[in-house]
Structure 1
Amino acid sequence: MSRWAVPWVLLTGVFVLMVGKVTVADLALGAGVSAGLLAWSGRWLVDGRRPGAVGPRRLWAFGVMVGAVLVDVVRGTWSMGRLMLGPRPAERQGEVEVALGERTDGGARVSALLASMSPGSVLLGIDWERRVMRFHLADASRAEEFRAELERFYRERQRAVFP
């Protein structure tokens, strides 16, 4: 049971941060959504490579990761606004593949979720055999930059929390 508690608390925290307010109802809803996500996908998250003990360093890394995601959402919103108000926004759309690299299965899913939170990119699927994630980008002309950003974010922010 204790191996499920930490992911449940972390997912509930992410939900409350996404909602933007902390009320009893939001906490209850977040806890329910988190429990449902763990019931659906808990095997890869919990039974994969052990993430390590939860201590002050890991909790700090989680907070830093959440802050970086929020900054990325703001940047993505700004970029989408500029793109949509530009002269020809639809001409730059396209699909981009990103290698999974050293991510565990759970880490790949977290990377895909976090990348899809920012406006402008949406996960289309993960090809486990080829070990790539497929995204649709509103501005596919920046595909190399997108790949580099995902890899940098994984190395610097995510790996310490969700390998």
Structure 2
Amino acid sequence: MRRVTLTDIFLHPITQKYLKRSGVAHAIATAYHAYRLALQYGVNVDLATKAALLHDIGHYEWYSNGTWDYETYKQNDIHAIKGAERAHKLLIRLGEHPQHAKEIALAILLHTDSYLPEGELKRKPLQTIVKLADEADEEPGGKHHYRQIDDELALKKIQQLDRMVEQQLQRHALDQIS
């Protein structure tokens, strides 16, 4: 049984504030990619979709002379660190199971290696799925952060994904009983 739904998360003012900064359409598309990948790799779809929805809530706005400066952003970005912290705090506040909130936050922390020193990072399956889901929706120059989606359509897509997650969790529970 899920304590917190994607809809609960999506409608929270903190989520709305930061998703509008980093791109609502990108967050939703990434959550759908995470759902598909979680099914493919046998990872918890609830955790995967939540982490993917929230993966960019730590974005800063990097501007130079009034325009977005993608190169400065790439050189100085730590959005995954800030996003993991924001997501964890938000999820705990909403009543998410503390262990789930931690797993989601860690997946957000490790969805990119742009801020990490050079070297190979060994990710857990949930962390890999969020990274792959994000990459599946990327566009050159960060353009994926600027795609637009109508607020009403965005909510409908989140509610649809909630139903898909719930159905999958029910199937999984029945399989465990059989």
Report the TM-score when normalising by structure 1: 0.27
Q: Give the TM-score of the pair, scaled to structure 2.
A: 0.26
Which one has a larger percent helix, Structure 1 or Structure 2?
2
